[in-house]
A and B are shown apart, each in its own frame.
Chain A
Amino acid sequence: MDMLLSSPSFAFIQVLNSISLGMNLFIIAAGLSLIFGVLRVINFAHGVFYMFGAYIMYTVSKDLQLGFFTGVIAAALGLAIIAIIVERGLFQWLYDKEHLLQLLLTFAIVLIMGDMAKIIWGTDQLSVSYPEGFGGASNLGFTFYPTYRLMLCVVGPLIFLGLWFLIERTRWGRLTRAATQDMEMLSALGINVPVIYVTIFVIGSALAGVGGSLAAPINSPTPGMDATIIVECFVIVIIGGLGSLWGTFVGALIYGFVFNFGSVIVPNWQDVFAFLLLMAVLLIRPWGLFGKPEQEGH
């Protein structure tokens, strides 16, 4: 706390820490929110998709030595393929069923993929190196800050802008938004709704894969890493509003700031503030800061 008040550069570093943490989480949580926004599926398996992204990064960049950025692409593609199999093979049969069945299905996927990860990659904690040129710190003039973290501060907003443009400014995005309102009407108008659904699921899951691959150098790929991230993602999307892209972006930033400054100001209570905020949102505005109450689903 004293350092925060006495050193402006220390305080500034905490701001950057908060943004980079928030942006890494945003990339992952955005996929969860996107899938819920359109498919109305609360995908508990999103965390395990993230874990697969981190493991794929390990295999591609460390085992196969194909480079870090190839690893990011491979994680996105790998999760896209998994998403197609999961959506077409399983989810499509449950859209008109009650939420409990969907939850149980996603939970089953968590258990199956968790065991698959152990069979494929073993149970050791693995480590992934930083990409070439991103392992050090950048000189910001008055202080140094890890280059990789700065990259996350940039990549997060870029993904946000890309998603925003796709959903708000393209014909496909309009159809997607329409699908959340009235799937039957859209189908009657000759739009291939299943294609929209699978595409959304693929994009959302690929984001989890990209998030996992980008987190790999700072979060050791290890069994069970999915359990932590899924809780953080739910906190973010509930604060921001499930299904809202803006909400997820702002929610991730809020989480980053609350967690990071909480760790500095009251170190032993670092988690409490984020959950207190979550409780406050649930009590005062249960649909989240940017969400809409009682949205019509299909």
Chain B
Amino acid sequence: MVSIFRSTTAAAFMLAAGVVSANAEIKIGVLYPIAGTGAVYGTPAMYGHNMAVDEVNAAGGIMGQKVVSFARDTKLKPAAAAAAAKELITKEGVDVLVGGLSSAVGLAISEVARQEGVVYIATIPKTIQMTTKKLHKHVFRTSSHTDFEGDAIAQIVKKLGKKSVCDIQLDYAYGHDLAAGIEKGLAKHAPNVKKVIDLRSKLGATDYNAQITQILGSGCDVVTSGLWGSHFVNFAQQAKPFGLFDRVTYISGGEIASHEIAGKMGKDYPDNVISNSYELWYDHTFPGHKKFQADLAKRSGKKETAMWPVLAYIGVKFIEAAGNKAGTMDADKFAAALEGMTIKTPVGDRTIDPKTHQANTGQFWGPMVKKSGVDYRVMSPVTWYPATLD
């Protein structure tokens, strides 16, 4: 009788322990713009994030615990992003923050992460400041940065043998830092190239006529830029009638070679554009990409998938790897696990530099050309620019 009682009690304790274990969760605070203007990027990013979380949970979670996401809309505004990050930490008690879109938003989230002592993995912001003068022990970046991007642009300027550059950027952290990155790259790769004009447009600008006519008047033979998303669409649509793309080569960061831009612009996409993308649905250079793209296509219901999901996907995969390695979600130990960590991704291996907390995230670069049978442009030839500044 006593043994039955003991066994029953032990079983009850084990069950209770099991329940506790099953209920314990790893909470990820996710910060993307999921409404308003930024939803263009935030919505596909969430596809990648959710796909990665489902994969992690299907494989047993992190340290055997289920991963749960708490998504918040950053509204593409630093203040809103900071408030959401604080709320995620204090109210929801998230273990780690991930996401961010726009450099200004990324810096705002990073500051909250610093104050609250929670790890933040920036998956999209590219301002160099995040991993240089505003670096702290809890911020990590898995996206590229403006010095890598600027260096690649300068290498292409050199390769094309161009002599004079006009630069047009958006007037906020990303634009300013990319302009500086291009200048550093030009000084290194093409010191004889002359910068003719520096132009700035405000974030969200819709009219570029004044800038377009200044570029045409300045006589440069290449335009370097980081106008992204609808900024580029508007600029291109306004510049085409002026004949700008017949007179200059347009080399741009800001991932305007991604399919979400090329596919939607269709035959309106201009000539003579060389740009970049983190991922191209039609390029299977790296092992694992084919399966990733097929899964993403199934999930999003589109054969021709967007580029943003892979960035959010990689962020979650780093959380999985670091959590399992650290064996705890304690911020300091989790951060230590991220330092120097390498993971396999659908776009190549990624290693986080232990000093700068920056992943070696390279990008695909190439000219956007017409392709028979489809009404959108594709990058061809595709060249991989690794993330090195040597």
Q: Interface-forming stretch among B11-19, B113-121, B198-206, B345-353?
A: B198-206
Residue B93, interface by CB 8 Å: no
Q: How many residues of B are counted as interface, with CB atoms below 8 angstroms from the partner's CB atoms?
A: 40
Partner of B213, one of A14, A126, A217, A267: A14
Residue B43, interface by CB 8 Å: yes
Q: How far is the CB of B232 from chain A (nearest CB, A)?
A: 9
Which residue on chain B has the smallest CB distance to residue A217?
Answer: B237
Q: Verify B234–A223 contact, CB threshold 8 A.
A: no
CB-CB under 8 A from A123, the residues of chain B are: 39-40, 42-43
Contacts A125-B230, A222-B230; A228 near B237 (Cβ below 8 A): no
Q: Verify B237–A127 contact, CB threshold 8 A.
A: yes
Complex alpha-carbon distance, A176 and B243, angstroms: 46
CB-CB under 8 A from B261, the residues of chain A are: 125
Residues A17-37 near B (CB distance < 8 A): 17, 20-21
B interface secondary structure, majority: helix
Q: Verify A264–B36 contact, CB threshold 8 A.
A: no
Residue A162, interface by CB 8 Å: no
CB-CB under 8 A from B171, the residues of chain A are: 268
Partner of A220, one of B209, B217, B218, B237: B237
Q: Verify B241–A148 contact, CB threshold 8 A.
A: yes
Complex alpha-carbon distance, A125 and B269, angstroms: 13
Residue A46, interface by CB 8 Å: no
Q: How many residues of A are counted as interface, with CB atoms below 8 angstroms from the partner's CB atoms?
A: 47
Complex alpha-carbon distance, A135 and B245, angstroms: 13
Q: 1/0 per position for A217-250, CB-CB distance to B under 8 A?
A: 1111011110111000000000000000000000
Which residue on chain A has the smallest CB distance to residue B233?
Answer: A220
Residue A69, interface by CB 8 Å: no
Q: Verify B40–A271 contact, CB threshold 8 A.
A: no
Q: Verify B37–A149 contact, CB threshold 8 A.
A: no
Complex alpha-carbon distance, A136 and B246, angstroms: 12
Q: How far is the CB of B201 from chain A (nearest CB, A)?
A: 8
Which residue on chain B has the smallest CB distance to residue A115?
Answer: B35
Residue B211, interface by CB 8 Å: yes
CB-CB under 8 A from A118, the residues of chain B are: 35, 39
A-B pairs with lowest CB-CB distance, top 9: A224-B37, A146-B241, A263-B210, A220-B233, A123-B39, A125-B230, A17-B209, A220-B230, A224-B36
Residues of A within 8 A of B (CB): 3, 7, 10, 13-14, 17, 20-21, 114-115, 118, 123-130, 135-137, 144, 146-149, 217-220, 222-225, 227-229, 259-261, 263-264, 267-268, 270-271
Using A3-B218, A144-B242, A227-B36 as known contacts, list a sample of 10 further A-B pairs with CB atoms less than 8 Å apart, ordered by residue number in A: A20-B209, A125-B230, A125-B233, A130-B241, A136-B241, A137-B243, A146-B242, A148-B241, A218-B238, A220-B230
Residues of B within 8 A of A (CB): 35-40, 42-43, 171, 199-202, 204, 206-207, 209-211, 213-214, 217-218, 229-230, 233-234, 237-238, 240-243, 260-261, 264-268
